[in-house]
């Protein structure tokens, strides 16, 4: 799913959104696992697939905030290369400390890509209340990338697949600038009603809309133009 964000260079190779989404790229596995950790709270959020009306279930209504240390602890048990190191004869605290810098550097890179943001206000550390630490959160593109990663891991047509597809759809619609999704805007209402009817079938139409919404996040006119072209030729 193409999401507009600039690429950067890691080592000698260029890593951007497409590389992160490439499950066959071992160099970007840690980035995918970071987003999978960020999305754990999303999976526990229930969505009623039977409701026809699309209700708000978007980034602004969900808690996706995390801390580096919590993320590192999770990666020690769930990220393949870290799990191998975790089996070495060191205690957990030492392992987490040794990986903190590496994880922090990955987070900084994702911030450069516009997928994660560092919260401005520091919070008290869980382990030492006398210390303060940063919290991090997904941006809207990062949130959509996270949903797409989980969606690709699921079987099409299952309840969980439909749930995440609905969330992706709702975020795409929610991301349309306010001035362009006026209730009197005929084409906005046409698209919204069409997508609602496709929730239980024609999922390829929804996926295409989500992909286009990711590219034209702030340009509804270009979004509707390209989506209309897709509909008319398929």
**What are the pLDDT digits (tens) for 106-127?**
999 999 988 899 998 888 877 7
**How far is C-alpha 17 from the chain's CA centre?**
11
* Alpha-helix runs per DSSP H in 89-219: 92-112, 140-152, 159-174, 186-197, 203-215
- Judge whether residue 200 has pLDDT over 80: no
Tens-digit pLDDT profile for residues 27-72: 999 999 999 998 876 665 544 433 333 344 556 556 788 989 889 9
**CA–CA separation, 35 and 115 (whole Å):** 10
What pLDDT is attached to residue 62?
64
What pLDDT is attached to residue 217?
65
The answer to whether the CB of 213 falls within 8 A of the CB of 223 is yes
The answer to whether the CB of 18 falls within 8 A of the CB of 211 is no
- Judge whether residue 96 has pLDDT over 90: no
**Mean pLDDT calculated for residue range 205-227:** 77
- Judge whether residue 190 has pLDDT over 80: no
**CA–CA separation, 98 and 224 (whole Å):** 49
Question: What percent of the chain is predicted at pLDDT more than 90?
Answer: 14
The answer to whether the CB of 34 falls within 8 A of the CB of 47 is no
Q: Comparing C-alpha atoms, which of 1, 46, 40 is closest to residue 163?
A: 46
What tokens were used for 69?
């240390």
**CA–CA separation, 85 and 129 (whole Å):** 30
Percent helix, percent strand, percent coil in the chain, to nearest 5:
55, 5, 35
Q: Where is pLDDT greater, at 218 or 28?
A: 28
Phi, psi at residue 4, to the nearest 5°? -70, 110
Helix H or strand E segment including 83: helix 80-86
**Mean pLDDT calculated for residue range 202-213:** 77
DSSP string, 10-42: ETTEEE-HHHHH-TT-GGGHHHHHHHHHHTHHH
- Judge whether residue 9 has pLDDT over 60: no
The residue to which tokens 């006119």 are assigned: 221
**CA–CA separation, 159 and 120 (whole Å):** 37
Strands 132-133 and 116-118: unpaired
What pLDDT is attached to residue 14?
77
Lowest mean pLDDT among 72-76, 86-90, 167-171: 86-90
Q: pLDDT grade, residue 2 (50/70/90)?
A: very low
- Judge whether residue 15 has pLDDT over 90: no
């Amino acid at each position: 799913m193409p999401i507009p964000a600039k690429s950067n260079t890691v080592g000698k190779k260029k890593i951007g959104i497409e590389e992160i989404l490439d499950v066959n790229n071992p160099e970007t596995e840690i980035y995918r696992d970071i987003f999978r950790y960020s999305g754990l709270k999303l999976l526990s959020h229930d969505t009623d697939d039977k409701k026809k009306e699309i209700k708000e279930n978007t980034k602004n209504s969900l808690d996706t905030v995390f801390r580096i240390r919590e993320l590192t602890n999770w990666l020690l048990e769930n990220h393949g290369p870290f799990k191998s190191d975790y089996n070495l004869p060191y205690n957990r605290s030492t392992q987490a400390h040794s990986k903190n810098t590496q994880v922090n550097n990955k987070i900084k890179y994702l911030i450069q890509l516009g997928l994660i943001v560092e919260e401005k206000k520091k919070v008290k550390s869980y382990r030492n209340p006398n210390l303060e630490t940063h919290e991090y959160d997904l941006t809207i593109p990062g949130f959509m990338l996270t949903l797409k990663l989980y969606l690709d891991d699921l079987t099409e047509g299952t309840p969980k697949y439909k749930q995440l597809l609905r969330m992706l759809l709702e975020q795409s619609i929610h991301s349309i600038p306010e001035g362009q999704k006026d209730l009197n805007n005929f084409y906005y209402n046409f698209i919204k009603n069409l997508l609602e009817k496709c929730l239980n079938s024609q999922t390829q139409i929804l996926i295409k809309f989500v992909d286009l919404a990711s590219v034209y996040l702030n340009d509804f006119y270009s979004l509707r133009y390209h989506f209309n072209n897709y509909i008319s030729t398929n």
